[in-house]
Structure 1
């Protein structure tokens, strides 16, 4: 086996190292918040999905958002924007302010076959282990994974759970360097294709599974696209080869390293926080949680999946799930049925199967 390279960059951080710093958390000023509110109100007569970068005038916040975007794409890959007074706002204003910020990061893509570009992470009785349901609609634990297709993932915290629900991040660059140093055979295995379950999202002519590597290397970075639940549920199809023991070991070790206190960053997610991550550079997870019985008090996050039209060249394998979006040339979101259109619902939808 050829010697595998390691990577030294701003992305090669450890959780304890980043937790000791505060320069990746930005608290918005009153002036910046007022500017966001004005931008939201000035577009209130338009459908949110029609709004783009040039529809929002943000002179005070623009330099900050440029730095945030650079940090996401070229730096550590994570930022939290803190301080939005969402308890005082209607959900329509919160969503519009969020959309204005996201317009500086990338282009929203569909998160489901309904065309929803504004997602709601909210328990509606889903089962995270059911391959026909969406895990973000459950209270179950989610192992370290990425949201397949998105280049940047945004989460805006509206409410926290009653108990549990803590989230964590891990740098794939750091995990890769550890694998190369300690288990290079398993590092190499993660560069090979794995079969993943489409979980009912295939369109006519597609198999109900696809295959791609978990990790990919470029001369300057390690990229990741991984969901262990999708890999394991693909085993329900008789045409999919059984996972080999070395594949199982590689998946398990990647998970164990991501969850290792030496490497993971635990997130103190507060209402009004916006977490933005480079979804192709970091893994994220969530603990199981116990929620409030009243729907209006339940844990609720607003999620955005963004593509980055001017982003770096991506390996061909990273287009395996839905191909390329003809408008941007980047990995596409969910394909829409004929006649469907993008939507930004302001209430959590029913259980999506």
Structure 2
């Protein structure tokens, strides 16, 4: 488990606080230590890749068949409807420990051997993930629980969507380092197709806690800027004008720094431009964006990826990025399934002043949508606060 030591630029008050502190650098949380603080050269695949053996793959296949025979909607996938052996259940539960108290990154490998079709892969992804983190997030704006990360740039645009941009998960351009804002504690990605050798789309991860410690020592004013609740997030609405929501990009609770820095709602993108009526970022905020990006590049590592992998990434402490892919006139075959998750047994306490924001995706009773095929890549189902 990570431990925390006091820094000269921090105070015991911040270590004990359960609310987000947004004042001077001496109120920033202490420097963090432990396995979640790492540089790219220190995080080898052998430390985070967990491989399924043939009997475990067969157990998962049997669970998929068992669930299909129940005739239930996919929203009913959970440990009781997706039965696994106690040994495999324990193996998957250990992944939650690794992503909450270890490096923050874990990859489950070997499901490619099951040769699942699209429906089976969706069931397997949700079923296996339920043993790692029991709760699945559903975006209240997009009403999506599982989304498809794919190249939709070649899709024929329907008339109603002529002025609607594709979400970041549907385009092939590179993505800077980010943590998806108020989307969920854990990011889970199932690699259905990696796009092929030398096709781009490489994934990168960086420890925000390593970045935090670096800035706390060398430039704490950047952290002060991030923790101040005046970042101008533009939140899209389905049939109305977007609205402004001010908030921080850095939170604290019980000594844990939590990053929720995503650029699309702050800067817009070529496909989804920012509304001109929205305020621009300050010079200090732009400097913070640049500094965090440069440190993430310095400390990152390329995520080891194979077809069939299920990746689990702590969305509060680990930043992720993606290289461009699919150059040329042909549609890329790269295809990942994505969910955001929470493990109630391991979930970090959230800052009191923003607890509602963090908890909203996990509102009990909200309808879950786990589509096998991505039929609507436009803003109708695209989250407004995540990706890029």
**TM-score normalised by the chain length of structure 2:** 0.78
Aligned residue runs from structure 1 range 127-206, under 5 A: 132-148=165-181, 149-162=183-196, 163-193=199-229, 194-200=231-237
Quick check: 1:63 aligned with 2:63? no
Query: Using the alignment, how far apart are the partners of 1:313 and 1:242 within structure 2?
Result: 32
Quick check: 1:16 aligned with 2:54? no
Distance 1:76 1:287, change over 3 A: same
Check the 8 A contact 1:126/1:134 in 2, yes or no.
no
Quick check: 1:248 aligned with 2:286? yes
Distance 1:86 1:32, change over 3 A: closer
Say how many residue pairs are matched.
Answer: 334
- 1:348 CA displacement: 2.1
Structure 1 unaligned regions, length at least 5? 329-335
Query: Using the alignment, how far apart are the partners of 1:325 and 1:99 within structure 2?
Result: 15
Check the 8 A contact 1:125/1:351 in 2, yes or no.
no
What's the counterpart of residue 333 of structure 1?
Answer: none
Distance 1:267 1:133, change over 3 A: same
Distance 1:109 1:7, change over 3 A: same
Aligned residue runs from structure 1 range 251-270, under 5 A: 251-260=289-298, 263-270=299-306
1:300 to 335, 359, 382: 335
Query: Using the alignment, how far apart are the partners of 2:114 and 2:93 within structure 1?
Result: 27
Quick check: 1:347 aligned with 2:380? no
Quick check: 1:215 aligned with 2:215? no
Deviations along 1:178-198, one digit per CA (max 9) or x if unpaired, are: 111111111211111212122
Quick check: 1:37 aligned with 2:61? yes
1:290 to 294, 303, 326: 326
SS of residue matched to 1:49: helix
SS of residue matched to 1:190: helix
Distance 1:243 1:131, change over 3 A: farther
Query: Using the alignment, how far apart are the partners of 1:139 and 1:53 within structure 2?
Result: 35
Query: Using the alignment, how far apart are the partners of 1:238 and 1:114 within structure 2?
Result: 23
Structure 2 unaligned regions, length at least 5? 1-23, 156-162, 380-388
Query: Using the alignment, how far apart are the partners of 2:52 and 2:109 within structure 1?
Result: 6
Quick check: 1:226 aligned with 2:250? no
What's the counterpart of residue 73 of structure 2?
Answer: 47
- 1:278 CA displacement: 1.0
Query: Using the alignment, how far apart are the partners of 1:69 and 1:138 within structure 2?
Result: 30
